[in-house]
Structure formats: structure tokens, C-alpha cells
Amino acid sequence: MSAKITVIGSLNMDLVTRAKIPAPGETVIGGDLQTVPGGKGANQAVAAARLGADVQMVGRVGNDLFAEQLLANLTAVSVNHDHVTQDPQAASGVALIVVDSAGENSIVVAPGANGRLSPADVDAAESVIKNADCILLQLEVPLGAVLRAAQLAHKHGAKVILNPAPAQPLPDELLALVDVLIPNETETALLTGLPTTNQVEIEAAAAKLRQFGVGAIILTLGERGALLADADDVTYFPPFIPEKIVDTTAAGDGFVGGLSVALAEGKSLAEAVPWGNATGSLAVTRLGAQPSLPSRAEVETLLAQATSEQQQGVQQ
Ligand code: RIB
């Protein structure tokens, strides 16, 4: 049976151009404009669906052309969007993205309808939270909706996975409901008030997060891979080095999607982290958010290659 995943979060249309990332006050000329479906919530939903999960999306879009394109894109990858409301009083969320020649990006989000997702919207989706193996949460929708989703998931025994991006302070009440927290270094520093500039500091910050009642922390470390801190241990996982870096947009979302599918399929946290690393690493080799997310076959091929390289290394 497929993994059942429900995502409560944002949908954005990404307006993307390639350019040097401008300094404050600077105007630069970019490349052609690309209009690409994105939003952290929808990206994670698409990542999970492309890996074979049965995915439900809960969110809000406007009543505009972008909404039609965003929903059509979810339909194309078999993400159910019965619980995505079309709001006549707001525009669909939009992200303005500049990608530079090294694939790094700079993003400004105009949340639009995402900013109006309410606890009542989440209550209306209780059936798909109840049926899920895990729910995926991020912070591009109001905290009230995020907290309500975590409470319902906890009530029904679905695993709560929170990717605290974009970073903001979180109430202890929410952190105590989280089974797996997936921050990066910046988000970890903001949540803990501690520096995260070296290994010792990072492990101390992860330990502090666990004191809030979070089940496990998976700290994404970019080109240095990921760290898993749970009740038993702290473990580092090496990255998959991408063949080329075209655009890092949605690499984190790919990581969350890949990890969640593996967990929902019954793999352990330690088995699931490489799925996250592989999915995120493949996403950076292509431009854009949702079009860059890999298929299950691509992820399995990369994981098999890594296993075979490891075995060869052991034999030598
Ligand atoms: O994580 C990448 C996403 O962040 C983009 O797709 C953009 O919409 C912003 O939400």
C-alpha cells in the first residue's frame, strides 16, 4: 500500500529569472522570465507524489489564473486538492525568485491566499489528516493553522513532520507536538537562540531543540549532508554530490518529501535520511521548484549507486 501523506501548507506561483542577486539599491538585468509552480507546501506534496505516495494537499489559492495553473499541476502528478480552497478575496501566493550562475537563489514571497489559511480550514480537512501516515507542515501559512494541524495529527496518531521554513520563533506548544523537525542551520539558530557555526555548536543546538519535546531533529547542512539527533544518538549522513548545480530552489522541499515517503513506508529515521538527501540532491540539477523534483526511479538509482560505491570501498 502507498504511503499516505497530507501536506498542510502554501502554494505559490514562482516568477523566476536568472541574474546576479542584486545588492540593496542595485538594479540588474536578468534572463527570460519563467513561471513555475512552487510554494513550500505544494513542492513537498509534489516531491512525495513523484516518489509514489498517496498525497492530499490542504491550502488556499486565489480565484485567478495562477490558481488554475497551480491546481492543474497538482492534478497532473496525482496530488488530491479537494481541500485547497479557492478564495475570491485574495490573490494566489507568488514568489519572486532570482537564481544566480552558481544556482543560489534569493526569494521574496507575497503570501496572498496562503496567509488566510485558518484553523477552520484545517478542521474541515480532519478526515485526510486522520487517514495519513504523516503530515507535512512548513511556515508559509499562519501559525494558527499549523498548530491546529499538529493537534489533529497528534489526536489521530499521524506522525507530525515540521520544516520550520521560513524561520520564525515557534511556541513550545507546537514544538512539543512535532515528531520530526527538519530545520537548516539558520532556522536552528533562530529557534534556539544559539550559534550554529561549527559541529559542537550545531550538536548543542540540536540537543536544545530536543528539550522542547521534539521527537527527532534532522538538521540539513547543505553540501555537508545532514545530522540526525534522536533519543539514541547523533549521526551524520554524507551528502549526495550533484553532477551539476543549476538551481537550489526546492532542494529542502525535496529532502522533506523524500524523507517523509521513506518514513511513511515504514523505514527507520536512519534509513529515511538518505532518501531525503538523494531527492534534494537531484532537485538542484534542474531549474525551478516543482519541475525539478525527481521520480522514484531516479532516487532509487542514486541510492543504489551509493550503496554499490560503499561496498566497493569496503572491499578495496
Ligand atoms: O522552497 C522553495 C519555495 O519557497 C519556492 O517554490 C517558493 O515558492 C518559496 O515558497
pLDDT band at 232 (very low <50, low <70, confident <90, very high): confident
Q: Does any domain span residue 223?
A: yes
Residue 296 has a pLDDT of: 98
Is 158 part of any domain?
Answer: yes
Question: What's the pLDDT at 316?
Answer: 63
- Which atom of ligand 1 approaches the CA of 253 most closely? 1
Distance 40 CA to ligand 1 centre (A): 5
Ligand 1 pocket by Cβ (under 6 Å): 10, 12, 14, 38-40, 43, 95, 107, 109, 140, 249-250, 252-253, 289
pLDDT of residue 310: 73
> Please, how many CA atoms are within 13 Å of residue 108, restricted to the half-sphere of its CB?
6
- Model confidence at 77, pLDDT cuts 50, 70, 90, reads very high
Beta strand segments in the chain, E: 4-8, 12-18, 34-38, 54-61, 79-86, 93-99, 105-110, 134-137, 159-162, 180-181, 216-220, 226-229, 234-237
Which of 12, 105, 248, 293 best tests ligand 1's pocket when mutated (most atoms within 8 Å of CB)?
12
Check residue 314 and give its pLDDT: 66
Task: Give dist(CA 105, CA 99) in Å, integer.
Answer: 4
Q: What is the domain range of residue 276?
A: 4-11+39-91+114-310
Domain for residue 239, yes or no? yes
Domain annotation covers residue 130? yes
- Number of compact structural domains in the chain: 1
Residue 103 placed within a domain: no
Percentage of the residues of the chain whose pLDDT score is greater than 90: 94
For all residues of the chain together, what is the average pLDDT?
A: 96
Cα gap 282→69, rounded to integer Å: 24
Looking up residue 270, the CATH number of its domain turns out to be 3.40.1190.20
Q: Is 28 domain-assigned?
A: no
Please report whether residue 171 resides in a domain.
yes
Report the Cα 128 to chain-centroid distance in Å: 19
Q: Is residue 55 part of a domain?
A: yes
* pTM, rounded to two decimals: 0.96
- Give per-residue pLDDT as tens, 252-286: 999 999 999 999 999 999 999 999 999 999 999 99
